């Protein structure tokens, strides 16, 4: 931490940790009964992943989880957000449960608890069993029921020790990316009507899973949802018209994703005539089952100003040319943290909020002293955490923060070319090396504060 700088303390009991997904870290792509996921298959397509790489090994977390969790403990983590692999637990998508797959997560949870690290378990991070996708994936409403059955298998095994759960990581990504993109599995382009059905079926899968998990868990559990968005910030926060324009833009972009869950209905005039998905009132009741917490993934955003000439009443402004960018070419816009938290609390009846992901990719190199001096990452995190503190000070409660990510890992279509971790992974040897940001984050967690 900076000496002589202003100290910003976080509330007592604030939870610090990190997050990662099964596919990006585990490897062991066909061990112990696991089937191919949509990303295992998608990665084989020429030109999809940079460098022609895949996640068959990833960072070998499946075999190295004990030493990796020891690193979490040495850093001082209070929480860790992991995802379970549907294709490892129910390889056929439906039907027989693979006990060896559950055994792995059984051991994993016990290892976290051994060090006093509280697990947050996410059930889906984009790695559907490929056999389920061949049945239509989320285009097929039966997949929603299959997902609920998978969730039951997981909660029945782990629910005695895991208190906090999320169903999906970023429904927005599934709807806009996975089924409407060349760069995300399964890489399909759908008609507007079918794509709308994908959105509704994914919402239904969420609601069915929430109800099923509560019915089959042996303990009281907390269930939430993880949402990501490109956050809209008022160009001039002192201008009331810009403030309203930014909030309206936020709602225009996110209400179709969040209203069904928090208000039990889709926004008016959302569907074009002839492109309406099949929906019934009973499904909307299931989808809007109350949740205990909200997970917000924050990476960046853009300014919005009032524009009376636009039908929407708002105009998005890309970040200024002098705005620093990460290795992913994402603008560093720390105020997005504040406005994202504010938008959610102001517009949705949530009970609790966590920052479920926040981090940055930079070009990390090992220097002559054997260290990785990732000053840019430290500055990025410090600025975003400062804005999180500002939101808390303004009365918008945040209960915890999950860094993305602890380790470098397989970054989807970017392969191994992007490093988000605060621990460097030398992929040929799988050696772990703490970056400067790891030592910095350890001091943040220990002191429960940052210096600005």
The two structure tokens encoding residue 372: 């990785």
- What secondary structure letter does DSSP report for 320? P
3-state secondary structure of 152: helix
The single-letter DSSP state of residue 180 is B
Cβ partners under 8 Å of residue 395, min gap 6: none
For 432, which DSSP code?
Answer: E
Picking from 255, 246, 269, 207, the residue whose alpha carbon sits closest to that of residue 227 is: 255
Beta bridge partners of 7: 451
**What whole-number distance in Å separates Cα of residue 52 and Cα of residue 179?**
22
User: By the 8 A CB rule, do 34 and 101 touch?
Assistant: yes
Contact indicator for 422, 438 with CB cutoff of 8 Å: yes
Please say whether the beta carbons of 329 and 222 come within 8 A. no
CA dist., res. 337 & res. 398, Å (int) = 11
192-216 and 142-158 helices, crossing angle to 10°: 30
Chain-centre distance for alpha carbon 369: 34
Is the Cα dihedral 157, 161, 163, 169 positive or negative? negative
CB atoms < 10 A from the CB of 4, how many? 5
Is omega for the bond preceding 405 within 30 degrees of 0, making it cis? Answer: yes
**CA pair distance 46, 50, nearest whole angstrom:** 10
Say which DSSP state 177 is in.
Answer: I
Instruction: Give CA–CA dist 350/293, Å, rounded.
Output: 6
CA dihedral 442, 22, 333, 320 (to 10 degrees): 140
Q: SS3 letters for 220-255?
A: CCEEEEEEECCEEEECCCCCHHHHHHHHHHHHHHHH
Euclidean distance between CA atoms 347 and 403, whole angstroms: 25
In the Cβ-directed half-sphere of 422, how many Cα atoms lie within 13 Å? 27
Residues 6+ apart with CB under 8 A from 256: 199, 266, 267, 270
Q: Which residues are catalytic?
A: 170, 357
Q: Are strands 164-169 and 400-403 parallel, antiparallel or unpaired?
A: unpaired
């Amino acid at each position: 931490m900076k000496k002589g700088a202003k100290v910003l303390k976080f509330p007592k009991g604030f939870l610090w940790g990190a997050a990662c997904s099964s596919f990006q870290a585990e490897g062991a792509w066909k061990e112990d009964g696991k089937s191919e996921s949509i990303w295992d298959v998608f990665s084989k397509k020429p030109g999809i992943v940079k460098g022609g790489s895949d996640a068959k090994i990833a960072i070998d977390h499946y075999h190295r989880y004990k030493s990796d969790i020891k690193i979490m403990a040495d850093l001082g983590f209070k929480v860790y957000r992991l995802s379970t692999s549907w294709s490892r637990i129910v390889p056929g998508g439906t039907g027989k449960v693979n006990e060896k797959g559950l055994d792995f997560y059984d051991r994993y949870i016990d290892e976290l608890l051994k060090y006093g690290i509280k697990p947050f378990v996410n059930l889906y991070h984009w790695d559907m069993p490929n056999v389920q996708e061949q049945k239509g994936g989320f285009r097929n409403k039966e997949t929603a029921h299959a997902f609920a059955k998978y969730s039951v298998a997981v909660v029945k095994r782990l629910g005695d020790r895991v208190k906090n759960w999320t169903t999906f990581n970023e429904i927005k990504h599934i709807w806009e990316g996975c089924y409407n993109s060349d760069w995300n599995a399964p890489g399909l382009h759908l008609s507007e009507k079918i794509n709308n059905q994908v959105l509704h079926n994914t919402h239904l899968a969420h609601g069915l899973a929430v109800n099923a998990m509560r019915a089959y868990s042996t303990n009281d559990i907390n269930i939430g949802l993880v949402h990501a968005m490109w956050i809209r910030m008022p160009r001039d926060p002192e201008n009331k018209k810009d403030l309203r324009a930014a909030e309206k833009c936020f709602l225009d972009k996110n209400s179709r994703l969040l209203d069904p869950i928090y208000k039990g209905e889709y926004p008016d005039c959302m569907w074009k005539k002839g492109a309406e998905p099949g929906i019934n009132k009973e499904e909307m009741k299931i989808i809007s089952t109350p949740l205990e917490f909200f997970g917000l993934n924050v990476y960046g955003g853009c300014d919005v100003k009032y524009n009376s000439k636009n039908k929407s009443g708002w105009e998005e402004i890309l970040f200024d040319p002098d705005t620093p960018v990460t290795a992913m070419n994402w603008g560093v816009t720390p105020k997005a943290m504040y406005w994202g938290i504010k938008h959610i609390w102001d517009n949705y009846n949530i009970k609790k909020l966590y920052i479920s992901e926040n981090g940055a990719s930079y070009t990390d190199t090992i220097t002559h002293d054997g260290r990785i001096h990732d000053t840019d990452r430290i500055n990025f995190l410090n600025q975003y955490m400062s804005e999180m503190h500002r939101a808390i000070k303004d009365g918008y409660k945040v209960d915890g923060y999950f860094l993305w990510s602890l380790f470098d890992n397989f970054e989807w279509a970017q392969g191994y070319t992007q490093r988000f971790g605060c621990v460097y992974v030398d992929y040929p040897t799988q050696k772990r090396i703490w970056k400067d940001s790891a030592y910095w984050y350890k001091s943040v967690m220990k002191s429960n504060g940052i210096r600005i």
